[in-house]
Amino acid sequence: MTTRTFLRKPNGFTLVELLVVISIVGILIGLLLPAVQAAREATRRMQCISNLRQVGLATLNFENAANRFPPGVLLPGPQSTPFPGAFARDPLQTEKNQHSGVGHLVFLLPHLERVDLWHALQSELNLSVDSSGLQARGGTSESIKNMYWFPSQSSTLQRQKVLDTARTPISIYRCPSDPAPNQSAIGLAFLYSYSSSPTSRAIIMPEFIFEDSGFAITNYLGSSGRSGVTGAKFLDSPAPAGAGFGSSGLCEDDLRGVFHVRSKTTLADIKDGTSNTFLFGEVTGQWSYSNPNAPRRLGGDYWISNSGMFLRYMIPDPRLNEPGLASVRAPDFRKFHSLHSGGVHMAYADNSVRLVSYDIDPPLWYILGGIRDGMSGSID
């Protein structure tokens, strides 16, 4: 009789089979991960576009109610020369504490369902575009409301309600693709421009708050055009400083945008057409390192006080524009800039949103930023 011996096959995978499975799973993950990341970025991009549209709609609703757009920022100006007695680096020094310094995004709060923040600021600050501390001096309650929103180190006036309100994050003002914290150590309070003489070129200056105060930032700012308004008659210069429109007789002020110091722009003032004029765009600030995930050195484009962004520094210049991280080095924090690939999203005055390449032709960039340059253009 023959006896047969059967060997039972061991349960589970062999080492070779396990390694094959792991390899296959790794390949599948490698194939799927970029697709997942792309899908997530596409979702974030759509949310960013939605934010810009809502900000644009709130701006148009404000214009419909007030018969003008919000003022760019409540500061002294426009001025063709620095204020008498002011430091050369800061021509606002003399009068700054007689203006509340509130920016255009504050005026949109009631139209973005943040009436609570609007009332908190309105009770403490002068938010009128028609009056300043120059009309109310001598320590009166009116003059106190005209003092700058952020107290200087020597000031005894601490309006805690204003400071607490300025630290309130507003989700609609933040791009979901921007991983930066909601505040930075050095905050960009606002940008402004002035001319040293009635015929000189505009000088664009930043105003910083050099301490970690936790004030909430924004990724969206209105367009000031070429250099806002300075009152000077300096003809637009050739690239890279300008687009060469001076040869046609256009000065820098002719290339103004919707938002500038104490502006009262209306829809009727947009002579070039609402579908051809920038209203808002994306901003990111400046990194301490070439890493978009790092804390920003100058990421504090404060929503409470920032003015419109100028178009001057977006003129293509190989010394300033770098692929991907076009705002790493100063003065690039003064640019419209995006973390989305392909360019920067810009909202137009007809409430459309379009992606504008960083390689846009300089004359077209200025044309789309200006409200009354007499020319029209399109990226389509």
pLDDT digits (tens, 9 = 90+) for 341-356: 888 899 999 999 999 9
Is residue 164 in some structural domain? yes
**What's the whole-model pTM score?**
0.84
| pLDDT at residue number 330 | 40
| pLDDT at residue number 40 | 80
The average pLDDT across 23-33 equals 74
Domain count, the chain: 1
Is residue 286 in some structural domain? yes
Average pLDDT, the chain: 80
Which domain covers residue 56, as residue numbers?
Answer: 20-369
Whether 36 has a pLDDT exceeding 70, the answer reads: no
Whether 70 has a pLDDT exceeding 50, the answer reads: yes
- Strands of the sheet containing 309-310, edge to edge, are 309-310, 220-225, 278-282, 344-348, 353-356
| Closest among 332, 341, 342, 345 to 285, alpha carbons compared | 332
Contact call for residues 82 and 194 (beta carbons, < 8 A): yes
Is residue 99 in some structural domain? yes
The average pLDDT across 47-67 equals 96
Most confidently predicted of 31-35, 172-176, 374-378? 172-176
Distance CA 192, CA 230 (A): 9
Is residue 256 in some structural domain? yes
Is residue 142 in some structural domain? yes
| pLDDT at residue number 62 | 97
Both tokens of residue 248?
């046609």
| pLDDT at residue number 329 | 41
Share of the chain above pLDDT 70, in %: 74
Least-confidence region, from 154-163, 264-273, 290-299: 290-299
Both tokens of residue 174?
């933040």
Least-confidence region, from 37-51, 208-222, 243-257, 328-342: 328-342
In Å, what is the CA distance from 379 to each residue of 227, 229, 275?
22, 25, 11
| pLDDT at residue number 264 | 94
| Closest among 248, 247, 236 to 365, alpha carbons compared | 236
In Å, what is the CA distance from 333 to each residue of 40, 45, 279, 338, 373?
26, 21, 19, 11, 26
Whether 331 has a pLDDT exceeding 50, the answer reads: no
Query: For residue range 288-309, what is the model confidence (pLDDT) as tens digits?
Result: 555 555 556 666 689 999 999 9
The average pLDDT across 111-134 equals 90
Least-confidence region, from 229-238, 246-255, 318-327, 363-372: 318-327
Is residue 11 in some structural domain? no
Is residue 29 in some structural domain? yes
| pLDDT at residue number 327 | 37
Is residue 201 in some structural domain? yes
In Å, what is the CA distance from 107 to each residue of 101, 156, 179, 236, 302?
13, 27, 26, 31, 14
